[in-house]
Amino acid sequence: MADRLPIMAGNWKMHKTAREGAAFVEQLTDELADPEGVEVVVAPAFTGLQAAVEAAGEGVVRVAAQDIFWEESGAYTGEVSPSMLADLCVKYVIIGHSERRQIFGETDEEVARKVRAAIGAGLVPIMCVGEIEAEREEGRTEQVLERQVLGGTQGMAPEEVAEMVVAYEPVWAIGTGRTATPQIAQEAVAFIRSRLAEVADPASAARTRILYGGSVKPDNVADIMTQPDIDGALVGGASLAVDSFKSLVRYERRT
């Protein structure tokens, strides 16, 4: 894992009101105290961002947005600009999640525009990539990952690649209870890192933090985190309760 600081990030998706999210952050902050060796991130819905940032204060929890738009302003009803997120003191933004790609038809080009916009606003993108079940069964996992990685990072400088975060989320494992074996996850993440080395250079790619996402739970996170190229997890359901998310975060303290 070199010197890459692991991240445990909770993607709340369309769950929790602003008040519920703030209460979660306050409780998590109180119970974690000092989570040495891991960065803690939660991603509320847009309506809960300000309350979560205020609840987090100067504590251990960082806040991410779940999406972004690439324009700074204009007639884009329902969208949120990079400067709006930066103004809220959000640190991270999830981009290209499989639900955005599958349900809303987001393309690699749109992901790239969002990644560049986030970086331009001083935000850290968490760019999601991953294959659907049919693509894995057809042996096209690497082809899909290469397209998504190269497409999503087009035009980026090596230092920008080094500072971004990538999340490998095999779509067939998200919310299904199925988890890629640690070996499958490691192989995919190592492949992603090799493609990042093409975009930038090997040294920059070695600094990029790559997360695994897909039915991560307290009882399987330890095996996932033993893999040399996996630097944390992007968690859905297990991030919605303080106790289960806290168990994931504290994994690093137990090793």
Cβ within 8 Å of residue 144, ≥6 positions away: 129, 130, 131, 135
Q: Is 169 a catalytic residue?
A: yes
User: What residue has token string 């991953």?
Assistant: 130
The torsion of the CA quartet 41, 2, 213, 8, rounded to 10 degrees, works out to -20
First to last CA, the chain: 14
Q: Choose the catalytic residue: 110, 160, 169, 252.
A: 169
Q: Is 15 a catalytic residue?
A: no
What is the Cα gyration radius of the chain? 17
CB 156 within 8 A of CB 195: no
Alpha-carbon gap, residue 41 to 62, rounded angstroms: 5
Q: Choose the catalytic residue: 39, 97, 106, 160.
A: 97
Query: Residues with catalytic annotation?
Result: 97, 169
